[in-house]
């Protein structure tokens, strides 16, 4: 027997089951932890599932991440040997992330915090006009999400550049690649957007050294993973004025602890990991397609390179 393991937050489990079953009524879906015989499980659709649990299923052949990120599947001990890993590439996921990035950029660029402070004081005062064409935005990560955000920022007239592990080409956008290009990229960036995958190479990449490489007063937006930021270093950079402010959607500990200084920091905007939320209705066809490809021995969609973790 071939069965699909479904594992996510309890409040969304039934929504996922319903959307998948509507497309394939014959699909045997097991809702974790009610797996039935472990030998039945051949594929899993999951988010933040205990990684060691995947080794219980001797016939597991495919892991499907419920989002664009897959770092949760590579936490020790990582995927079982020989098990394919795929991620979701979805128009609504991509659009939502770009919306979040544009909102954060424009909120800072158009001095929203300053005008809110003036409103609180009932002061009718004009702040210096922002110069879009002179504002340099740098996007770290030029995958599906980063490339889309970079293109949309460029359409608004910003000077946009991108940095990635390997060379990429985007029309109208300056690109940097590899470790040797990171600091030149940072030096020309007034607003830094992090949309990198989380891997051992990008863990803690936003640290004292890289934050210091930005122009003084730069702004930081992180909508990728909390592990990219050394939080103590960012707080120190905010206090010194090296970083003028930050919009943070992701954190090393989630939910963010109530006593964490980010909550009340006057230069920080906190959102609860909501930049881009997977909509089961939109991605269910992709999941069903990959399950069919697995059964038929055809190439899978959006396969992750296990050697690099994305």
Please list the active-site residues.
225, 273
Please give the Cα distance from 109 to 191 (Å, whole number).
Answer: 9
Residue with tokens 């992330």: 97
Token pair recorded at residue 244: 């003028």
Closest residue by Cα to residue 194 from 208, 173, 211, 181 = 211
What three-state secondary structure class fits 103? helix
DSSP secondary structure string, 76-99?
Answer: TT-SPTT-EEE----HHHHHHHHH
Pairing of strands 62-65, 41-46: parallel
Q: Are 135 and 149 in contact (CB under 8 A)?
A: no
| Sequence-separated (6 or more) residues with CB below 8 Å from residue 139 | 146, 149, 150, 153, 160, 161, 162, 163, 193, 195
Token pair recorded at residue 155: 């359409």
Q: Is 45 exposed, middle or buried (0-12, 13-18, 19+ CB in 10 A)?
A: buried
Beta bridge partners of 165: none
Please give the Cα distance from 217 to 135 (Å, whole number).
Answer: 12
């Amino acid at each position: 027997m071939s069965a699909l393991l479904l594992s996510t937050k309890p409040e969304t489990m039934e929504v996922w089951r319903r959307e998948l079953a509507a497309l394939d009524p014959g699909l045997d879906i097991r809702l974790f932890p009610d797996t039935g015989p472990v030998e039945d499980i051949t594929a899993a659709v999951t988010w933040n599932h205990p990684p060691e649990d995947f080794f219980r299923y001797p016939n597991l052949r495919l892991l499907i991440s419920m989002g664009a990120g897959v770092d949760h599947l590579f936490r020790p001990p990582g995927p079982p040997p020989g098990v394919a890993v795929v991620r979701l590439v979805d128009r609504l996921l991509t659009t939502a992330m770009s919306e979040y990035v544009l909102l954060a950029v424009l909120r800072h660029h158009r001095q929203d915090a300053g005008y809110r402070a003036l409103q609180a004081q009932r002061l009718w005062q004009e702040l210096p006009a922002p110069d879009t064409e002179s504002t340099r935005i740098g996007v770290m990560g030029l995958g599906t999400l980063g490339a889309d955000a970079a293109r949309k920022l460029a359409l608004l007239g910003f000077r946009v550049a991108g940095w990635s592990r390997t060379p990429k080409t985007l029309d109208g956008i300056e690109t940097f690649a590899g470790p040797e290009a990171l600091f030149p990229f940072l030096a020309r960036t007034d607003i830094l957007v992090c949309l990198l995958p989380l891997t051992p190479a990008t863990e803690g990449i936003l640290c004292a050294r890289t934050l210091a490489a930005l122009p003084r007063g730069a702004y930081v937006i992180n909508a990728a993973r909390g592990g990219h930021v050394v939080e103590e270093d960012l707080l120190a950079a905010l206090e010194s004025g090296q970083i003028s402010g930050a919009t943070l959607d992701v954190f090393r500990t989630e939910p963010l602890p109530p006593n964490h200084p980010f909550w009340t920091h006057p230069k920080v905007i906190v959102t609860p990991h909501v930049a881009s939320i997977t909509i089961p209705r939109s991605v269910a066809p992709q999941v069903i397609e990959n399950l069919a490809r697995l059964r038929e021995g055809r190439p899978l969609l959006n396969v992750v390179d296990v050697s690099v973790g994305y």
